[in-house]
Amino acid sequence: MPVEQSSDAPLNQEPVVVDEQLYCSLTGRPISRAEAYWAPPLITARELVTTIVTTLLRAPSQLGHILLAEQPNVPYAQDVRERLAQRRSAEQLKLLIGMLVLLALLLLPVLLLVMRS
């Protein structure tokens, strides 16, 4: 049995903008919409590794979606842009060093076995 829905609102209605208080995602202090700098959220190396491991254990089919989905932009204060860039660079460096250490740990036994022969 088909269900008919009737609405009093027209279909071509303009989107409603809600005026709410924004908070800087890095410092947590209130900022106005005019001074907000919108950028993807800061994801730490620890959060990334934890998310990957948890997803692999609980729902491996969702790993691609979680890693490749576009993150919604969050507000930052204009004066923390430099600090945000430094934090992003530091997190990238931590991730790179962690991956190199993991690679070394995987290759070390192989190299020792080859050198032993």
Q: Average the pLDDT over 77-97 and give the result.
A: 97
> Phi-psi category of 90—alpha, beta or left, where left has phi over 0 and alpha has psi -120 to 50?
alpha
Residue 24 has pLDDT above 80, yes or no: yes
Residue 55 has pLDDT above 70, yes or no: yes
Residue 37 domain-assigned?
A: yes
Residue 65 domain-assigned?
A: yes
Residue 90 has pLDDT above 60, yes or no: yes
pLDDT of residue 12: 67
Kindly report which listed range (8-12, 23-27, 61-65, 81-85) carries the lowest average pLDDT score.
8-12
Q: Average the pLDDT over 1-16 and give the result.
A: 58
Sequence-ordered list of residues with C-beta below 8 angstroms from that of 51, at least 6 positions apart, any chain: 66
pLDDT interval class at 17 (50, 70, 90):
low
Q: Average the pLDDT over 63-78 and give the result.
A: 94
Per DSSP, the three-state class of 85 is helix
pLDDT of residue 11: 59
Sequence-ordered list of residues with C-beta below 8 angstroms from that of 87, at least 6 positions apart, any chain: 26, 42
Residue 36 domain-assigned?
A: yes
pLDDT of residue 3: 54
Tell me the residue range of the domain where 64 lies.
Answer: 22-116
Residue 34 domain-assigned?
A: yes
Determine if the pTM surpasses 0.75: no
- CB distance 24 to 76 below 8 Å: yes
- State how many domains the chain has: 1
